[in-house]
Structure 1
Amino acid sequence: MAPTQQTSPTKGPSSWPQTSPPSLLIAVVDLHPLSWSLLSSLSPGPAPETGEKDKAPVSPITITEFATILMVFLNAHLASRWGNEVVVYGASAGKAMLLYPPPEGEDTSSRPSPNFYRPFQLLDSRFEARLKELVEEPVATEQLNEPPSLVSALTKALCYINRRKPAEAPVSALTAGDAPGPSGTSNPEAPEARIIVLNATPGGTEGTGETESKASGGGGGQKGYVGLMNLVFAAQKIKIPIDVLTLPPESTRTAPPIFLQQAAHLTNGIYWRWNGRGGLLQYLHSIYLPPPSLRHQPFTLPPQDAVDFRAVCFCHNNVVDVGFVCSVCLSIFCEVRPVCSMCNTRYNIRTLKTIKEMAAGVTPIPLPATILPPKQSQKKAKPATNGTAPAPGAAAAAVSGSAAAPVVKTEAEDVIVIDD
């Protein structure tokens, strides 16, 4: 009897999810007046060099145009599946407020239109009215220098998700067939929550040396670093992805918001930076419209930029390449201190000189442009040999045929622990 060769199952339409749960999309919109003043006055970049293909020029975008694009994207989310919901928070200078849906107890009665889908009508009317109130509200001069309250808005978004989260079923009530679905619960109709941050504030000016180390990390500025990291860890624990779309393009010569980039990386979200050449609605539909349960099959994620894992020192609120961490309270400082300013711990003075010498020889690690995802090697089926040993040539061919894809590895930032 001739030996039969078994074929391994390949990934295809048969392995795609048959259905996806309803999706709860919470959008956090940056409405800082100074940021939108920068975006509305974008100037075209330098002319392309000779021989290069002409690109679309960098075009400015106003808050009115962005609101129209955002409403189309949110309506597309509502229309993609029955049961999808939308929540919008606005973050301005020093304050954050709920834009949609209206708070409980507020009069939401409106005359339904027979030619208008009711969820579209409610979203367009309520969101436009609340957005106009927030934009037209006068802002004090001293508040303009404050960063947008993205941390406050993200905290409210997590609280909203916690209130809407259904009660977990007891372990005894789960049977063998009631496996947790994509939303993390045994109920297939439980909403799948996610957060998208539409950031309009740049991370700071680009530069080298000391100028680059003092660049802002975005997401509420350096002062909001601790609060942002705390809510990122909370979202990571409850498996809530945080997607980030930053609007200031590279033509503004500003650095990306590294803290929001870290938030997207730690929560398995998507980070993307707009190039300023139009097509913003297409970016939103092609990258951010699929829910997390459909992003790997049948859709794929775009290549992500290399993540900058620098932190902020607690003494000067600067982004540092080399930090000194207290061994007691884990506070980060940009310079060696004999006494911790947070917990008042006194360190051994004889070790401070050694720590300074160690820090002098450390150089920052350059980051690549992008990080390639590792290639998943598929296991090949072993041919049936009827009890005989396989030929050595076949084994060598199988090993040489599976070449691993190159992976760019980034090392962790240099941290020196100050021991007491």
Structure 2
Amino acid sequence: MPQVATTAHTRPWPTSTPPALLIAVVDLHPLAWSLLSNLRPVPSSPGGPEKEKAPIAPLTLAEFATNLMVFLNAHLASRWGNEVAVYSATAGKAVLLYPQPDEEPSRLRPNFYRPFQLLDTRFQEQLKAVFSAEQQRLEEADGKGLNDPPALVSALTKALCYISRRRPPETHPTGMAIADEGKSSNPELPESRILVLNATPGGAEDAAALNGKTAKASGGSGGQRGYVGLMNCVFAAQKAKIPIDVLTLPPESTKTAPPIFLQQAAHLTGGIYWRWNGRGGILQYLHSLYLPPHSLRKRPFTQPPQDAVDFRAVCFCHQDVVDIGFVCSVCLSIFCQPKPVCQMCKTKFPRSAWATLKELAANVEPIPLPNTVVAPRQRRERPPTNGASTLNGPPPGTEVIEIL
């Protein structure tokens, strides 16, 4: 039997991947899930073309938790050595759901994969404990604090610390530790990534928010007050080569804006951002988009087309999302209007520049954003022929795989 010759040019993706650590940050805000569990179908437009689409159906937390457990179990089963950690983000608080220090279940089941049993039992127990605590706070504190945004920034910070503790430092051949730049000589070093499952909408989409220069509540998921902390987490994940994937659940039928800061986090760290359409298929979205590791997403798999990224920021004076901002040259604070004195570092600006800055603030128009980003066209790669003619095809006995 002739040997099949394969080269690096005919198979550009790796033959094996290292173990992967997946940290899921789940938004469990009660008000957000109350909105998702009461989704209403969109009325069909009169006279429009009939399209066969699945109807918009409500999504309950119990159904979503079941799909999430199936997805996490699929991640554990895809490769030996894969690990999972789950953080919950409620109103003003982030809690580690899995793993717990006392991982051993009270009763081991025979003929049952042990990681599956640990994940299923502990995840369900901690999920019930979180909602018992929320119910107790609702009864004792009379709902005080439930209007606070979900603590996604706190959960992301804990997730990054968890990855930092689990990631061993790289060592030089001389024995000295070196900085981790995302590239490791150890092929078994775990490949870490974070998946944010957002349930909090970004805010109402009205004419004032879309056409004006400021939008009061379009940040989403912690919004304006957690902007600085979220950006710090994003820059830390970007330097550590940790992708942040985002799946936002409130569909467009709710007339709410997407969480632009989470969209920026996915774009800057090389993750995948996707918005659910409200027509079911949560498990299919999780498996097809977020199950492959980051090293296999471009080859042999492909990423879905991403929406245009909204790079607006938050002003430090009114906590508004602004299209045009004025940045302090000393501390880089952002303001929606020119200030004679910086409110953060107390730097005084020259009076001669006030008139020019106010004129620019009054005349600048917001920049419209496209719906999607056009993917760059990739060139077709062909295997080397080793001097043979390309008219007769590759030499016999060679495995040829074309990447379109």
2:59 alignment partner in structure 1: 61
- 1:204-252 CA-to-partner distances (Å, cap 9, x unmatched) read 1112335762123123121000000001000000000000000000000
| Unaligned residue ranges in structure 2 (runs of 5+) | 1-6, 386-404
Contact residue 28 and residue 88 of structure 1 kept, 8 A: yes
- Counterpart code for 2:310: D
- Counterpart code for 1:322: I
Task: For 1:309 and 1:93, locate their aligned partners in 2 and report how far apart those are by CA, in whole Å.
Answer: 26
Aligned counterpart for 1:72 among listed residues 60, 65, 70: 70
**Is 1:236–2:238 an aligned residue pair?**
yes
Q: How does 1:233-272 map to 2 (within 5 A)?
A: 233-272=235-274
More moved, 39-48 vs 74-83 = 39-48
TM superposition shift of 1:359: 2.2
Total equivalences in the alignment: 367
Q: TM-score, normalised by structure 1?
A: 0.83
Contact residue 201 and residue 221 of structure 2 kept, 8 A: no
Task: For 1:280 and 1:382, locate their aligned partners in 2 and report how far apart those are by CA, in whole Å.
Answer: 42
TM superposition shift of 1:107: 6.5
Aligned counterpart for 1:99 among listed residues 90, 97, 100: 97
TM superposition shift of 1:117: 1.1
- DSSP-derived class of the 1:222 partner: coil
Task: For 2:285 and 2:264, locate their aligned partners in 1 and report how far apart those are by CA, in whole Å.
Answer: 21
- Counterpart code for 1:30: D
TM superposition shift of 1:330: 0.8
Contact residue 246 and residue 272 of structure 1 kept, 8 A: yes
Contact residue 99 and residue 130 of structure 1 kept, 8 A: yes
- 1:41-87 CA-to-partner distances (Å, cap 9, x unmatched) read 00001225543222111100111111000000000000000000000
**Is 1:37–2:34 an aligned residue pair?**
yes
Contact residue 206 and residue 215 of structure 1 kept, 8 A: no
Contact residue 223 and residue 317 of structure 1 kept, 8 A: yes
The change in CA–CA distance for 1:275 and 1:381 in structure 2 (over 3 A counts) is closer
Q: Identity percentage over the alignment?
A: 66
1:124 alignment partner in structure 2: 120
TM superposition shift of 1:115: 2.5
1:178 alignment partner in structure 2: none
- Counterpart code for 1:94: G
- 1:151-207 CA-to-partner distances (Å, cap 9, x unmatched) read 000000000000001120205579xxxxxx997311111110000000000011112
Contact residue 21 and residue 183 of structure 1 kept, 8 A: no
Contact residue 169 and residue 186 of structure 1 kept, 8 A: no
Contact residue 206 and residue 254 of structure 1 kept, 8 A: yes
**Is 1:110–2:106 an aligned residue pair?**
yes
2:310 alignment partner in structure 1: 308
Q: How does 1:180-259 map to 2 (within 5 A)?
A: 184-210=183-209, 213-259=215-261
1:81 alignment partner in structure 2: 79
Contact residue 24 and residue 194 of structure 1 kept, 8 A: yes
Contact residue 181 and residue 239 of structure 2 kept, 8 A: no
1:146 alignment partner in structure 2: 148
- Counterpart code for 2:371: A
The change in CA–CA distance for 1:210 and 1:120 in structure 2 (over 3 A counts) is closer
Contact residue 249 and residue 275 of structure 2 kept, 8 A: yes
The change in CA–CA distance for 1:298 and 1:11 in structure 2 (over 3 A counts) is farther
RMSD between aligned alpha carbons? Answer: 2.4
Contact residue 182 and residue 293 of structure 1 kept, 8 A: no
Aligned counterpart for 1:19 among listed residues 12, 16, 38: 16
Contact residue 28 and residue 89 of structure 1 kept, 8 A: yes
Aligned counterpart for 2:377 among listed residues 375, 378, 381: 375
- Counterpart code for 2:206: G
Aligned counterpart for 1:134 among listed residues 130, 137, 155: 130
2:340 alignment partner in structure 1: 338
The change in CA–CA distance for 1:346 and 1:124 in structure 2 (over 3 A counts) is same
Task: For 1:208 and 1:196, locate their aligned partners in 2 and report how far apart those are by CA, in whole Å.
Answer: 32
The change in CA–CA distance for 1:382 and 1:169 in structure 2 (over 3 A counts) is closer
Task: For 1:101 and 1:351, locate their aligned partners in 2 and report how far apart those are by CA, in whole Å.
Answer: 56
Contact residue 183 and residue 192 of structure 1 kept, 8 A: no
- Counterpart code for 2:316: F
Contact residue 199 and residue 244 of structure 1 kept, 8 A: yes
Task: For 1:125 and 1:46, locate their aligned partners in 2 and report how far apart those are by CA, in whole Å.
Answer: 41
- Counterpart code for 1:329: C
| Unaligned residue ranges in structure 1 (runs of 5+) | 1-8, 175-180, 384-420
- DSSP-derived class of the 1:245 partner: strand
Contact residue 26 and residue 86 of structure 1 kept, 8 A: yes
Q: TM-score, normalised by structure 2?
A: 0.86
Contact residue 246 and residue 273 of structure 1 kept, 8 A: yes
**Is 1:359–2:357 an aligned residue pair?**
no
TM superposition shift of 1:381: 11
2:164 alignment partner in structure 1: 162
Task: For 1:77 and 1:107, locate their aligned partners in 2 and report how far apart those are by CA, in whole Å.
Answer: 19
Contact residue 182 and residue 192 of structure 1 kept, 8 A: no
- Counterpart code for 1:187: N
